[in-house]
Amino acid sequence: MEEHYKKLINMYGSAPIQKKFPGIDLKIKKLQAEITLPIDESYHHAGGSLHGAIYFRLLDDVCYFAAMSDETEYFYVTKTFSIQFFRSMQKGLMIAKSEEIRFEGKDFFASGSIYDEEGKKLASGSGVFTKVSVKLDPTIGYKID
């Protein structure tokens, strides 16, 4: 499975959106994922705090890749996702961790939380992801470089 995890990490890193998130890092184990992202004011909204889209991005990704750690054939997409915000963040390291993963037919349910460097919970989220016809293959970055 280590090769599968490396391919998933490469797929994640090669996605065009990653150019907008310098320093983002993904780690994968069986049914677990962790993403870290250094936060600075370039991610702020006009009110001076981290924009909610960043929380969504990390929670969606950490849940997705925790479940994908067990899927070696098909790509999944987000069907629904909800977030609860607990505290804002201005700068420092944001750490997203997967929590529960549950498979139900061609869908999976996953949840996760985001913490700051001091271990304070910033947000939690959960979503449902569904299998699509896209295969995991080198054309989508699923390869080892």
The domain covering 2-140 belongs, at the CATH homologous superfamily level, to Hotdog Thioesterase (3.10.129.10)
* Domain boundaries defined on the chain: 2-140
Mutual orientation of helices 2-14 and 52-68 as an angle, nearest 10°?
150
Q: Residue 8 has which token pair? A: 């998933």
| DSSP H or E segment with residue 7 | helix 2-14
Over residues 84-106, mean pLDDT: 94
Give per-residue pLDDT as tens, 4-27: 999 999 999 999 999 999 999 999
Residue 21 burial (CB < 10 Å; 0-12/13-18/19+)? middle
Confidence of residue 145 (pLDDT cuts 50, 70, 90): confident
pTM for the structure as a whole: 0.94
pLDDT band at 125 (very low <50, low <70, confident <90, very high): very high
